[in-house]
């Protein structure tokens, strides 16, 4: 068993959507804890290679693999490449996700399906591939108390309805029950499955929500803790859920939101 409960030394992690935002920080945080990291991306390779380079400059190991997480063949090929390079896999972070907001009556089937395909089906495909590898390899108690760990990136909108985002909210509600079901099904095999549900996090994809003073003031009204989160807040939560310090935790969602899900409009007790 590892001497340091927060160490991921000698473990291999795969992070989907890891070339930017929360996924990028998750890759850095996992590498800092000692894991070798597979950087999944789609589209331009340069940002993914920048992540690899930074990890390697810090003495870690990483590789970039392009794959559309909603494509079964590409997902399977990605996991094959990861295991060919590093021998096996211990950690999966299901981070890849998209938003396509639209008034419900105007939302097309294609806009609904694309979000479900990436945000929910993608997590199914990657989780299935990871669990198959965990079971094939079996336990390695000298490396990790758990046979394998999966962290699914959800959202506070697995709990909070979000008008004009029916596809996104439905996908994240699905992620919540996917996590709980997989945790239940594979707990006896010592595979832990959990989720992180971020609230408002400063990333490029939501820059409009915090980049101006007016937008920031509006956003902070929904965050009792008084600040917008950054990607490192989520990265730290992911590392904890992947290490032996959280070995008794499975089937839960760790909400990282500064209190957004506390319904701050009721904080005066006068609602």
- Which residues are designated catalytic? 168
Work out whether the CA dihedral 26, 29, 33, 38 comes out positive or negative. positive
Say how many CA atoms lie within 13 Å of 239 toward its Cβ.
25
β-pairing, 36-41 with 148-153?
Answer: unpaired
CB-based burial of residue 98 (10 Å sphere; 0-12 exposed, 13-18 middle, 19+ buried)? middle
Asked whether the beta carbons of 52 and 105 are under 8 A apart, the reply is no
Asked whether the beta carbons of 120 and 42 are under 8 A apart, the reply is no
Distance CA 255, CA 199 (A): 8
Asked whether the beta carbons of 222 and 16 are under 8 A apart, the reply is no
Beta strands in the chain (DSSP E): 12-15, 36-41, 62-66, 91-94, 148-153, 191-198, 201-202, 229-230, 253-256
């Amino acid at each position: 068993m590892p001497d340091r409960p927060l160490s991921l030394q000698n473990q291999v992690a795969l992070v989907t959507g890891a070339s930017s935002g929360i996924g990028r920080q998750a890759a850095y945080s996992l590498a800092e804890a000692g894991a070798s990291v597979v950087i999944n991306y789609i589209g331009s390779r340069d940002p993914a290679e920048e992540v690899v380079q930074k990890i390697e400059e810090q003495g870690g190991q990483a590789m970039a693999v392009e794959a559309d997480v909603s494509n079964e063949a590409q997902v399977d090929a990605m996991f094959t490449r990861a295991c060919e390079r590093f021998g096996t896999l211990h950690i999966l972070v299901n981070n890849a996700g998209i938003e396509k907001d639209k008034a419900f009556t105007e939302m097309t089937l294609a806009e609904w399906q694309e979000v479900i395909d990436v945000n929910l089906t993608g997590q199914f495909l990657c989780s299935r591939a990871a669990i198959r590898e965990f079971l094939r390899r079996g336990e390695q108690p000298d490396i990790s108390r758990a046979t394998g760990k999966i962290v699914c990136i959800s959202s506070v909108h697995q709990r909070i309805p979000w008008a004009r985002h029916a596809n996104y909210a439905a996908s994240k509600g699905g992620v919540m029950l996917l996590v709980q079901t997989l945790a239940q099904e594979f707990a006896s095999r010592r595979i832990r499955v959990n989720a992180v549900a971020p609230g408002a996090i400063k990333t490029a994809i939501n820059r409009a929500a915090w980049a101006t003073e007016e937008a920031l003031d509006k956003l902070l009204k929904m965050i009792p803790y008084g600040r917008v989160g950054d990607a490192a807040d989520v990265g730290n939560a992911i590392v904890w859920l992947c290490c032996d310090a959280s070995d008794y935790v499975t089937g839960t969602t760790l909400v990282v939101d500064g209190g957004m899900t506390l319904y701050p409009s009721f904080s005066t007790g006068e609602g």
